[in-house]
Structure 1
C-alpha cells in the first residue's frame, strides 16, 4: 500500500484580474434527521456539553490501509470549550479497537492528547490490524466513552479481492436540504468505504446562495467562514448532523477537498469568493481552511497541505485522489480559447501530474480509479436553448452572458487533460475510471482524447459523475418540477456531446460503485425529496464499463446489497 503526498508550490502565481465570475455560487453543509438525535439538530456544542468531557461530534475513521485505519474524534472538555474558541485544558483521550461491538476482544488501544492547539480534535493512526477486516472502535475521556463505530481495513496489497463496493458522494449544502443520502449509506453493511469527492462543507454565510429565501436550515456560524475559528466552527456544526454522524460511524471515509472547503473557485493564488481588501490575505485564509480541514476530517495529515494521495485495494484497484485546487492557475475568462489551451497553465501542477501519470503506468491493479473533484470529460453547452443558459450559468458559477464551457473544470485547462489522456492512450493503460462530483448533476461519460472525433476514435477512459447530496441543481434554480424543463437541456447537451451517455440535471442523491474483475458498475441513487428528513431513495440508472472496453454501457439493472 502506498500513501503518497504531493508538494506545495514554491511560489503562487501573481493574482490576475477578475474573470468576471459572479460573487456567489453554491452553499453550505450539515445537520438532518434521525429521531434519536433530533435534539442536536441546529444546536451548537455548548448547548449540550456536559460538565466533564463529552463527544458531541461523534467519531469517524478514514484512509483504510491493509494493516491499519485512521481514527478521529473531537472532545468537548468543558461547556465553554466550543469549537474555534481556543478554550479548554488538554485532555488525555483513550482509544481502542475491537473485533466485536461489545469490546470483549480488544486488539489495539492507546492514548492521545486533545488540546486547544488542534481544537481538541484527535487522531489515532492505528497499525498492526488484519487486512480486509471489519472492526469496532471508540474513544474515552474522563470516564466517558464515545459512541462505538464500525470501520474496515483495506485488502492485503497482493490479495485477489473478489469485489470492492464504495458509496460515492459530493456537494452537501446544509441550508438547501437534509442529508438523507448519508443516512441511506449509513444503513448499508456492504460498503468497504465512502468516497467523498469534495464540498463536504461550504464557506458561505446564511442564505448567501440564491435560495430565494427557502433555506431549510441555518448554518453556523451564520457569516461566511474566513478565519481559522470560522472554519473550525463550520466543520463542527456539520458534525452535529445525525445523518452525517451516522455515516461516519458506519464506514471509513476517503475524502478529498474541492473549492468550498476553502472558497468558491479556489486556485493557487486566490478564489472567486475572496476579496483581499475586505477578507484579509488569501494565504492566511487558505492556511486556516486547510488546518481546520485536517483537524476535523479523518484524513491523514500532510505537511505539504494537500490531499492528493494513493490507496491500494489488493490486486483489484488503485485509487488515485487528486488535489485540483492547491496548484492550479486562475480560471480563464469564458470563451478565451487561447488561454484555456495555453500549455503553461495547469490544473494539477507539474509534480502532481507526473505523479499521477507515473502511478497509472506502474499500477499492477486490475482497475485504476481516479478521484477528480471536477469533470474531466469535455462538456459544451452551445446547443442548450438560450432561456436555459442563464440558469445553467448560475448553477455552475460562470458569467451569464455566455456559456460555451465550464472553465473551472478540466475544460479550462485543456493541455493538462490532453497530456494525461494521451498518456493513457500511448501507454495503452486500460481500465481507468474517473470518479467525479462538483457539478450537481449526474453523468455517465466515455472519455475521448478528442471529443470531436468520438466515437470514431476509441475512448481511453470512462467517468462516473455523481450529483449533489443537497446542493442546488437545475430544477432548484429555475423552480420547476423535476424532469420537465431540464429534459430539453439534457437532450441538447447529449446532442452536442456524443460521449455523454447519460445525464440527470435535477436529482439529488449518491452513487454506489461496485468493482470486480469483469466490470466497474455504478448505481445512481436519487432521493424522493431533499427537503424531507425521511426521504427515500431508489436507483435512477445503472451504468458499467467492462474490463478492457474503455466504454460505458447501460447495465441491465442495479446490484443487490
Structure 2
C-alpha cells in the first residue's frame, strides 16, 4: 500500500490556518496542525475500520456553549460531510448529511460507500457554517489483491494522568502508516490520584471521580480527544481498535470487575452498558450497542487482522493460580461464538498473514522463583494479577483460561497453519515471543505454532516506575530471570514507554519498538530501541536490531 504523504494533509486550508495560529500563540506545537478545530469541532476528526469500498468517519459537534460532553443538553443539529480524492476537495467522492444530538452526545459517525479500494481520501464536516479540520484516511486494498507492504502503528495503554501522548505525535508525523492498531486501554477509568505517573498526577482526569455513569464515560472520552497529539494521529491515519479492561473498569469480566463494587458503584450491567455506549459514540469503530466488537479486516491477499474482545464474554478470573478451574473447559475467555469465529479465520486461505489484535498475552509466562519479595510485588502490580507467588500463571491473561488457549494452539498445530502472529498490549512492556505447542518441552521439540509481539504502554506505569528506580537498572535482572524461566520469550523490556511500528511483507513481518525519553515531558524524544521479525513460514521470532 502507498504511504500517506503528510504534506498533502497539511495543504488543507483549516490545517494551515491552525498552524499559523499555533506559531503565533507559541503554545501549540506545529506538528499538531492536523488537530485544527473550529469552535464547533473541538474534539477533532477521525476515521477507522477501513474496507475496500468504505471507511468510517467520526467527529463531535458542540452546537451551543451548554452542549458539553456528557451534559445531555443542546439542540439536535444537522452535520454535513464531504469525502474527496484531493485535499482541495475538487474531486468529490461522496457527500451527505446526518442529524445528531444529545441522545448520542452530539457525536457523528458516517460510513461513505462506493469508494475505490486502496485509495487515499480527504474528509471534513460542516455545521452551521463552521467547518471541521480536514482528515485523511485510506480504504483497504481490494479482496485478493497483491499487496507488497502493510505498515501500521501499534499502541496501547494511554493513561492521561501519567503523561503526555508523545507517542501519538511521532506516529502522526511519520506519514508512512496505512493504519493504527490500538489494542486497548485507550482511556482509564480512575479518579485523580488513583493511578498516575510514579504517584504524580501529570494532568488530572475529568470528571474528577472514577467514571461509573454514562455522563462520566462521555466526559472522559471527550477529555482524551482534546489531546492535540491524539487529534493529529486520528486526522492522519485510520484506526482499528478494540477495548481491554480500563474502557470499563480494571480486570473486567462478563459479570463484574476487580475495580467495581456492586451496589456501592451501581449495578455492573448498567456501568458496562454505559461504557459501551460511550465507546460506540466516541470511537471511530463499526460497533453499536447490542452488537459485537470482534471483527476482521483484510488487506488484499497479504494480511487479515482479527480484533478480539476478551472482556465481554470471559468467565470470572480464577481465585488463585492453583485453582483447578483454570483448566476447566466450562470456563472461557472468548466465548464459544467468538472462538469459532477466530479459528475459522485462521483456516481461511484468503490471506497469508493472520494477525490477531489480542488485548492480553497468549504466550505462557512462568514467574521465576528467584525474584525478591519486592520484585514479586512490583511484577504483580505491573501484570495485574493478585496471585503470583512463584507459580506459572497470570489469571487475567490466557494463562488463566488454559482450555481456550489449548483450543487455539491445537487448531494451529493440527491444521499446520502458518504465519499467525498475535499483536498484544495490556501489560506496559515490550515482548517478542514464540508461542510453543508445548511449553514444557520447548525448545527441544522446536515446535512454535505462532509468534507474539507485545507493544509497551504509551504512558502507563512500567516496572521501573513501580519499583521507583531509574530505567534499565533494577528491571534488567528481573527481565533476565523471566527469559530464563521462559525460553520462548526472546525479548523483554519492562521499563520503556512508547509505541511500535509493524511492517508486513510477503517475506517477513517486523516490529520496531520506539522508546520515549520521558513521558511527563511534552517535548519527549523518540529512539528506535530494537527490531524483531517473523520470517514467513517459521512461526518464530528472530532479532533484526
Instruction: Measure, in 2, the Cα distance between the counterparts of 1:163 and 1:213.
Output: 42
Distance 1:267 1:403, change over 3 A: farther
Instruction: Measure, in 2, the Cα distance between the counterparts of 1:304 and 1:236.
Output: 22
Given the alignment, which residue of 509, 514, 539 partners 1:520? 509
> What RMSD, in angstroms, separates the aligned Cα atoms of the two structures?
1.8
Specify the alignment match of 2:394 in structure 1: 406
Q: 1:7-55 CA distances to partner (integer Å, 9 max, x unpaired)?
A: xxxxxxxxxxxxxxxxxxxxxxxxxxx96698799xxxxxx999xx700
Q: 1:387-428 CA distances to partner (integer Å, 9 max, x unpaired)?
A: 300111122222377253311000000010011111000011
Secondary structure at 2:220's aligned position in 1? helix
Instruction: Measure, in 1, the Cα distance between the counterparts of 2:369 and 2:541.
Output: 23
Secondary structure at 2:273's aligned position in 1? helix
Instruction: Measure, in 2, the Cα distance between the counterparts of 1:528 and 1:106.
Output: 43
Structure 2 runs not aligned, ≥5 long = 1-20, 30-35
Q: 1:463-518 CA distances to partner (integer Å, 9 max, x unpaired)?
A: 11000000001011111111100001000000000000000000001110000100
**Cα contact 1:204–1:223 (8 A) shared by 2:** yes
Q: Say whether residues 1:484 and 2:470 are aligned partners.
A: no
Q: Say whether residues 1:531 and 2:531 are aligned partners.
A: no
Distance 1:486 1:451, change over 3 A: same
Specify the alignment match of 1:123 in structure 2: 109
Instruction: Measure, in 1, the Cα distance between the counterparts of 2:356 and 2:370.
Output: 29
Given the alignment, which residue of 418, 428, 434 partners 1:440? 428
Instruction: Measure, in 2, the Cα distance between the counterparts of 1:129 and 1:38.
Output: 39
Instruction: Measure, in 1, the Cα distance between the counterparts of 2:142 and 2:175.
Output: 20
Specify the alignment match of 1:85 in structure 2: 71
Specify the alignment match of 2:97 in structure 1: 111
Secondary structure at 1:65's aligned position in 2? coil
**Cα contact 2:387–2:394 (8 A) shared by 1:** no
Distance 1:280 1:38, change over 3 A: farther
Instruction: Measure, in 2, the Cα distance between the counterparts of 1:498 and 1:544.
Output: 17
Instruction: Measure, in 2, the Cα distance between the counterparts of 1:378 and 1:391.
Output: 19
RCO comparison, higher one (Cα < 8 Å, 6+): 1
Instruction: Measure, in 2, the Cα distance between the counterparts of 1:39 and 1:207.
Output: 27
**Cα contact 2:277–2:288 (8 A) shared by 1:** no
Q: 1:172-231 CA distances to partner (integer Å, 9 max, x unpaired)?
A: 010111100000000011111000000001111101026554111111111000000000
Secondary structure at 1:57's aligned position in 2? coil
CA displacement at 1:302 relative to structure 2: 3.8
Secondary structure at 1:278's aligned position in 2? coil
Q: Say whether residues 1:548 and 2:537 are aligned partners.
A: yes
CA displacement at 1:303 relative to structure 2: 4.8
Instruction: Measure, in 1, the Cα distance between the counterparts of 2:473 and 2:528.
Output: 19
Specify the alignment match of 2:220 in structure 1: 234
Shifted more, 146-155 versus 299-308: the winner is: 299-308
Instruction: Measure, in 2, the Cα distance between the counterparts of 1:353 and 1:400.
Output: 27
CA displacement at 1:101 relative to structure 2: 1.3
Instruction: Measure, in 2, the Cα distance between the counterparts of 1:176 and 1:130.
Output: 41
**Cα contact 2:189–2:246 (8 A) shared by 1:** yes
Secondary structure at 2:50's aligned position in 1? strand
CA displacement at 1:343 relative to structure 2: 1.3
Specify the alignment match of 1:21 in structure 2: none
Equivalences, count: 515
Given the alignment, which residue of 315, 333, 342 partners 2:319? 333
Instruction: Measure, in 2, the Cα distance between the counterparts of 1:414 and 1:171.
Output: 25
Instruction: Measure, in 2, the Cα distance between the counterparts of 1:468 and 1:258.
Output: 13
Shifted more, 508-517 versus 327-336: the winner is: 327-336
Specify the alignment match of 1:425 in structure 2: 413
Q: Give matches, 1:65-104, under 5 Å.
A: 65-104=51-90
Q: Say whether residues 1:163 and 2:149 are aligned partners.
A: yes
**Cα contact 1:61–1:298 (8 A) shared by 2:** yes
Secondary structure at 2:470's aligned position in 1? coil
CA displacement at 1:137 relative to structure 2: 0.5
Q: 1:126-148 CA distances to partner (integer Å, 9 max, x unpaired)?
A: 11111111111100000010000
Instruction: Measure, in 2, the Cα distance between the counterparts of 1:400 and 1:337.
Output: 11
Distance 1:138 1:398, change over 3 A: same
Given the alignment, which residue of 442, 445, 454 partners 1:454? 442
Secondary structure at 1:182's aligned position in 2? helix
**Cα contact 1:38–1:242 (8 A) shared by 2:** no
Given the alignment, which residue of 107, 120, 145 partners 1:134? 120
Specify the alignment match of 1:392 in structure 2: 379
- Normalization by structure 2: what TM-score? 0.92
CA displacement at 1:158 relative to structure 2: 1.4
**Cα contact 1:164–1:515 (8 A) shared by 2:** yes
Distance 1:511 1:84, change over 3 A: same
Secondary structure at 1:260's aligned position in 2? coil
Given the alignment, which residue of 203, 219, 226 partners 1:217? 203
Specify the alignment match of 1:500 in structure 2: 489
Secondary structure at 2:477's aligned position in 1? helix
Structure 1 runs not aligned, ≥5 long = 1-33, 42-47
**Cα contact 2:433–2:491 (8 A) shared by 1:** yes
Distance 1:498 1:435, change over 3 A: same
Specify the alignment match of 1:509 in structure 2: 498
CA displacement at 1:276 relative to structure 2: 0.7
Instruction: Measure, in 2, the Cα distance between the counterparts of 1:459 and 1:306.
Output: 31
Instruction: Measure, in 2, the Cα distance between the counterparts of 1:197 and 1:510.
Output: 12
